[in-house]
Structures are given as structure tokens and as C-alpha cells.
Structure 1
Amino acid sequence: MKKVANLNTTLVCKNRMNAIKDAMEILSGKWKFHILGTLLQGGNMRFMDLLREIDGIAAKMLSKELQDMEINHLIKRTVLDTKPVTVEYEVTEYGRTIEPIIDEIAKWGLEYRRSLYQK
């Protein structure tokens, strides 16, 4: 009977690790959390607004990251019928599900900084 329990535990662990791997692939990189956090705080934003708000990101990298996040349904890209054409980005309803995680990471980061400066 123990072998079945171990097999079930192994299967649950494997499924959990695969889910973590999937999440990390979608969210990996230096900029995705910066972009999501900026859009969550700022609402709909244009490309140049994002470029100005996110310190240190190159235009080419921002474009690539936005495309990746759009493919993964984290953000929505809307082309407005203006002259010249304007493009706005916003976090999707599904993308908003990451907000509590970003908030917790920010909270952890603040606590970590406090612990460093108190020593």
C-alpha cells in the first residue's frame, strides 16, 4: 500500500513542478514583472509611455516582451484608428490574476530591503 501512496505523492509533486515550470517560462526574464506592474498601476498605456516608465528597458526588448505577454494572454494590444496609428496595451482579466502575486513579491522585497538596512 505504501508504494501507491508514494506513487500518488510523486505524481502530485510532478504535476506541481510542471505547473511551476510553465509559470516560470511565461513570466521569466528581467522585464515581465516590471511591465505587468506598470500596466496594473497605470492602466492602459501606449508603447512610448511604457518605455518612459520602465527605467532601463530598450525599445526592442519592450516590443519583444509585450508580444510574448500578448501571446500568453497576459496583456491585450489595441490599435486605435488615429493618425498616426496609436497602440495601447492593457492587462487582460486573466493577466490580473497575477496581481496578488506581484503585490506579495513587492511586499517581500520591501521587507528584505528593510532587513538589509537595519544591520
Structure 2
Amino acid sequence: MPEAALAMNQEANDWVEVCALDDLPHNAGIAARVAGRQVALFHLPAETPAVYALDNWDPLGEAAVLARGIVGDLGGALVVASPLYKQHFRLADGQCLEDAAVRVTAYPVRVDQGRVWLAVS
């Protein structure tokens, strides 16, 4: 394990190395199993931050499909549209824009030396 990664793990033991940044498709999502959870990772290279992570589970459609949704900008917020019923979930915090009572977990993400790390609790 590289020194920076080792230091990161010692600093916060809930950070998990997920993949190489180059493994993520640009401007799209991909699902990954991280610490027993299915997570949707989104790489938007033109944005800051460039990588976002949400639960892959769509609570309205009741399926693990958010990684297959279309990413875009809705009213100035970066979102993913669920492929099932088209609700929009904000990438920054997982809030559903059509229903204030619905939210999916958004995970903190770090990119260090070309590797993607996800904080899980």
C-alpha cells in the first residue's frame, strides 16, 4: 500500500480504497460493492469535485439502478435521474429533488494518487 494511502487509513479507518480513477467511465455511473454495500460512483471530470458516490438503491423504484441513470445539471445541481421513474437525486447529498422526504446516502469521496477512496461508516 502506498505511503499516502497508509497514512489516510491511519487517519480515518473508515476509508476504503475502491478502484483506480481511470476505471470510472467519464460522465456516467458505475456500480461497485464497497464494504458490503452497493454504491453508485459517478465521474464528472469537468466538475469539482469530480467523483461522487451514492447508494445504488432507488428507494422509489425499489431496485439497485442509480448507477445506470443519466447524470446532468438540473437547476444548477448535479443530479442523476433514476432510470425507473426519472426522479432526480442530487449527487452532492443524495436528496431527491421531486420528493423532499426521499434521500439516498451520499458518501464522502477522496482521490489520492489516482485511486478512489470512499468513506463508509
TM (norm. structure 2) is 0.26
- State which structure, 1 or 2, has the greater radius of gyration over its C-alpha atoms: 1
Which is richer in strand? 2
Which is richer in helix? 1
